[in-house]
């Protein structure tokens, strides 16, 4: 089952997130991630939803989202059509002798070191989700203590 990115413009109102989340759970759709924030128009929120399913399920998801009274627009973001970004914070074990290796990985991926303790380093990585996946894989051997990802946000590319 492939991953689809769907962008949903909704009224920026109390309870809308619960409606969208409830729709997914009530109908048994699998969400990989869901992000929501205000937009250039403060009366509108934009949700980026990553959902797994075949074409028929994705079609139903879009129709059901559209059916919500608070949904203004549902926009499909097929692969390659949008700019997608995600942010991750990774707290990794960093013994003194391993620390420079970790710094190197951070440098290659333009990740920032945002916190250091005697035993750990915390990195902030930003980029497309595949890049984040790679960094995490590279850091895994050092033992990841804690990991958090924002879930992806996605904007359609402008066509001239």
72 scored as a contact of other proteins (CB under 8 A): yes
- Within residues 78-97, the interface with other proteins by CB under 8 A covers none
Element (H, E) at 89: strand 82-93
110's CB contacts (< 8 A; 6+ apart) are: 126, 127
Q: Does 19 bind other proteins (CB under 8 A)?
A: yes
- Helices 16-26 and 55-67 pack at an angle, to 10 degrees, of 140
Of the candidate residues 3, 11, 109, 138, the single one contacting other proteins (CB under 8 A): 11
The correct pick among 30, 39, 60, 95 for binding other proteins (CB under 8 A) is 60
Determine if 63 is a binding residue for other proteins (CB under 8 A).
Answer: yes
Read off the tokens for 148: 């958090």
Our CB check for other proteins shows the closer of 59 and 128 to be 59
């Amino acid at each position: 089952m492939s991953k689809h990115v769907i962008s949903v413009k909704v009224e920026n109102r109390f309870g809308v997130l619960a409606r969208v989340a409830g729709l997914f759970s009530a109908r048994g759709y699998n969400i990989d991630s869901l992000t929501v924030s205000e937009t250039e128009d403060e009366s509108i929120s934009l949700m980026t939803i990553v959902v797994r399913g075949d074409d028929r399920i994705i079609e139903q998801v879009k129709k059901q989202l559209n059916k919500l009274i608070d949904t203004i627009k549902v926009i499909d973001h097929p692969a390659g059509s949008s700019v997608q970004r995600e942010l991750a914070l990774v707290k990794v074990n960093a013994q003194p002798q391993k620390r420079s290796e970790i710094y190197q990985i951070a440098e290659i991926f333009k990740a920032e070191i945002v916190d250091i303790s005697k035993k750990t380093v915390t990195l902030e990585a930003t980029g497309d989700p595949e890049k984040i996946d790679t960094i995490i894989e590279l850091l895994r051997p050092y033992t990841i203590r804690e990991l958090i990802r924002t879930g992806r946000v996605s904007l359609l590319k402008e066509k001239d």
